[in-house]
Amino acid sequence: MKRLLIVFLTVFLTSVFAYADKHVNLGDRASELKEEGKSEDIHPDLKEIRIMHPNFLMHKRDKTLRQGIRTKRNSLKACVNCHSATDQNDEFMPIDQSGQFCSTCHQKVGTSLDCFSCHRNTPKEDL
């Protein structure tokens, strides 16, 4: 029984992280950077980001809210600006909308995506 459980968990976790490479929509700017071969300048280790991003966000939240440290690098705003996509009318779609960058993995692993109850889910229009 233990072996069956271990096999099941291994297959499940492997499929979850394998799925992270197959985003339905990386976002307009992120796709451009990937095509230009510049995505590694922003995210040197994508595997680490996929696994650790909840911890990175919590750490950033603590530094921002509790210590008042606000930086442009690695901000949630920067993530939204890069990973947002536009529709046929050239309007930004919410990043947490079904089929968009954030929702793809969150739906797969069954976790809530509540960042955007307070934060913008589209970039500001002046970008």
Task: Tell me the mean pLDDT in the region 38-47.
Answer: 82
Contact 122, 94 (CB under 8 A): yes
C-alpha distances out from residue 92 to 25, 56, 87, Å: 13, 25, 6
Place of tokens 């996929």: 50
Task: Tell me the mean pLDDT in the region 24-40.
Answer: 86
CA distance 19 to 104: 9
pLDDT at 19: 45
**Which conformational region is residue 110 in: left (phi greater than 0), alpha (psi within -120 to 50 degrees), or beta?**
left
pLDDT at 109: 81
Q: Residue ranges per domain, the chain? A: 2-117
Task: State the pTM of this model.
Answer: 0.70
* Mean of the per-residue pLDDT values of the chain: 80
